[in-house]
Structure 1
Amino acid sequence: MNTTISNSTLKATIKHSGAELTSLKDNQNKEYIWEGNPDFWGKHSPILFPIVGTLKNNTYTVNGKEYQLPRHGFARDMEFQLIDKTENSATFSLQSNEETLKKYPFEFELQLIYTLNESALDIQYKVINKSSDKMPFSIGAHPAIALHENFENYAFEFEKKETLKYYLLENDLISNNTKVLESTDNKVPLNYKLFENDALIFKTLESKSLTILENSKPYIKVDFEDFPSLGLWTKDQAPFICIEPWLGYSDTAENSGDLFEKEGILVLNSNQIFNSKFSIKIL
């Protein structure tokens, strides 16, 4: 099942499975979200919860008990309920249940709130801890932006001039090896070789927005003020680029396995509500 929201500029379609954005079109019917061709990658813009990235051995512990979670958690593969809808907004909810409690022993509600605001789509995450105990979690976005021209015709433009240090993955875990993404005037030309070792993972960035340039002209801007970390990713020869605002990231090889000790983890008190928001703006 899908829900569509619209305003005078944009139309967005969200499927109830995973509350996943599958389409964002302008009033000229131009598509800005990757189509999800499984030959490259069968997703569009999944939600990453209650972890971002990969756990060591796909395993973690809470209070000494062992649990398993797949890469990026389970929310992206679950059915959400549409709980509120207006012409230009839609709110989806996922509640903990018997199935989630086996993998993640906390009672929660996760809401995704999509709102069209002129030429931008705002995506808000709301996490409610309904447990009587503290709840550790990570949350992140994974939108794939459709690229209609040759990959090399595009570039990143970071908001601020800074040293773009990113961490390399080894066996899907964060290693201690880093590289610096070379930039000129905050711009980084795209080529597939940048991603030959999988995603580029920035634990911290001064920039809180990233613009994709198409033939040196602004194409799409992603604002992520609430997110300290960022992943950038594509597949070889794929006509998309993922700009991924994160609160959390994969385990390191040295990780203890205790979820409360995981680097980058967030912790909510009982009945506490967490909010964060990012936006995709058509330029």
Structure 2
Amino acid sequence: MTTTLFNSDLTAKINHLGAELFSLESNNKEYIWEGNPEFWGKHSPILFPIVGTLKNNTYSFKGKPYKLSRHGFARDNEFVLIEKQDHRAVFSLKSNTDTLKVYPFDFELQIIYTLAGNDLTIAYQVINSSTTPMPFSIGAHPAIALTGDFEKYSIQFEKNEPLQYHLLEDDLISNKTETLSTTDNKVALNYKIFENDALIFKTLESDYLTILENKKPLIRVHYKDFPHLGIWTKTNAPFLCIEPWFGYSDSTETTGNIMQKEGIQILQPKSTFNAEFSIQIL
């Protein structure tokens, strides 16, 4: 099933499987990657209850091991549409017998999509329904469609800052870092930047970045609520993922104890976590 939202400026389409945004149109132009599996068969998956990869795809809680695949299970589960207006929709995923086998916590995850002018806001609400503190990570993975020559695009960060990112080793965060070179806060895009996979920024001062096409602003992603950011594409793929995160892959030195995992969030019993980001068409 799918749900369509619209206002005078935008049309957004969401698949109930994973509550995944798969289309965002303005003036008959599509801004979300089509999901061609030749490159990557997703559009904008929701990452929960982990972001990235666990060492050996395993974590431990209270001494018991659990298996979780990359980016968790939310993207592979059917969400329930619990509220719908022309410009707004709320999707819900609750813990069930299958999730409890791999993630022993009672929770509700709500995803709220709201259109306002040229902005699509995507809000995350995580509710800990259990009686124990709940560790989790959550993140976005929207793939922005970039047609034509990839090198005609650039990204510009809000602030002039050192853009130091961590390298991945076998999908895990290493201690090795590199720094993107910039001119006027801009990074000229080319596929070589991503030859070692995603760029993982543990800290950034900027609250948003802008994708430019031939130096003209095209789209802006605001991520003020989020402490971490991933940027990713694949060689020759016509998209760029801008990924606001709470958390990231295990480090190469991880103990496996999820309560001690670097970047993990701990939500107290009967408490609610809220965060949001937005995609703005320029």
Q: Decide: shared fold, TM above 0.5.
A: yes
CA distance in 1, matches of 2:85, 2:128: 26
Letter paired with 1:253? T
Letter paired with 1:8? S
Q: SS at 1:8's partner residue?
A: coil
> What residue number does 1:76 align with?
75
> What residue number does 1:12 align with?
12
Letter paired with 2:264? I
Task: Report how far residue 29 of structure 1 moved.
Answer: 1.1
Q: SS at 2:193's partner residue?
A: helix
Shift >6 Å, 4+ stretches: none
5+ residue gaps, structure 2, are none
Q: SS at 1:133's partner residue?
A: coil
Q: SS at 2:204's partner residue?
A: coil
Q: Deviations over 1:50-105 (max 9, x none)?
A: 00000000000000010010000000010000000001000000000000000000
Q: SS at 2:29's partner residue?
A: coil
In the alignment of these two chains, the number of paired residues is: 282
> What residue number does 1:131 align with?
130
CA distance in 2, matches of 1:176, 1:216: 34
TM-align CA RMSD: 0.4
CA distance in 2, matches of 1:204, 1:71: 22
Letter paired with 2:237? A
> What residue number does 1:114 align with?
113
Report the TM-score when normalising by structure 1.
0.99
CA distance in 2, matches of 1:275, 1:117: 19
> What residue number does 1:250 align with?
249
> What residue number does 1:38 align with?
37
Task: Report how far residue 253 of structure 1 moved.
Answer: 1.1
CA distance in 2, matches of 1:271, 1:87: 31
Paired residues for 1:132-281 under 5 Å: 132-281=131-280
Q: SS at 1:99's partner residue?
A: helix
Letter paired with 1:11? T
Task: Report how far residue 149 of structure 1 moved.
Answer: 2.4
Letter paired with 1:184? T
Task: Report how far residue 208 of structure 1 moved.
Answer: 1.0
Letter paired with 2:177? T
> What residue number does 2:86 align with?
87
Report the TM-score when normalising by structure 2.
1.00
CA distance in 1, matches of 2:133, 2:153: 43
CA distance in 2, matches of 1:115, 1:25: 14
> What residue number does 1:22 align with?
22
Q: SS at 2:255's partner residue?
A: coil
5+ residue gaps, structure 1, are none
CA distance in 1, matches of 2:253, 2:207: 29
Q: SS at 1:48's partner residue?
A: coil
Task: Report how far residue 148 of structure 1 moved.
Answer: 1.7
